[in-house]
Amino acid sequence: MKTVSQWKAELSKTQHYRQPGDWSPAWLLAHPHERPPAARIVALGYCQTPDTVQIWDEDGVHRVGWKPGLRLSDLLSEDPALKGGSSDEVAVVSPRGNVDHYGVAAWNYADTDLLPGTRVVGAIDLKGAVFPWMRDAIAGLLAHTPSGEACRRFPLSQGADHG
């Protein structure tokens, strides 16, 4: 299947993984009981925020230019392939790695603002439960991959020996 091959090719480009969430100094100071143990941190890094939103749909993987005020409904009106799937939902992966589901059918419709670097994953419109599961598995994996470009990674010697 062409779509699955394109999804696989895009995933094979991944070189860095991350723990999803807000790890800014302000958040860490405000949530001292939710900090990861320093000994388990292997590296710090950052990526340049893209000026696009990435779409994973029945047509494969492609990008749409981001502009202020871009909403999920804008993508749905431009990309009918995103509406596929028996669950009538898409998974939206925020740049920080949060995964939320939004309805795309008349009976469960929901809309949201999209930030640059957001990834939207639709289900492939085939019969069976595997395709919504695949959508969610891909979204979960994307949550652990940086959405940006030109990523830099700085290994920490204290955590380098820990898995």
Which domains are delineated in the chain?
Answer: 2-155 (3.10.560.10)
CB atoms within 10 A of CB 134: 18
More confident residue, 160 or 77: 77
Does the reported pTM lie above 0.85? no
SS3 160: coil
| pLDDT higher at 69 or 25 | 69
Q: Is 130's pLDDT higher than 70?
A: no
Better pLDDT: 21 or 90:
90
Q: What residues contact residue 94 under an 8 Å CB cut-off, 6+ apart?
A: 100, 115, 118
Evaluate whether 147 touches 30 at the Cβ level (below 8 Å). no
Is the per-residue pLDDT at 103 higher than 80? yes
Q: Helix or strand or coil: residue 61?
A: strand
Residue 106, both tokens: 């008349």
C-alpha span between 161 and 73 (Å, rounded) = 46
In angstroms, what CA-CA distances link 7 with 2, 37, 45, 101? Answer: 9, 34, 25, 19
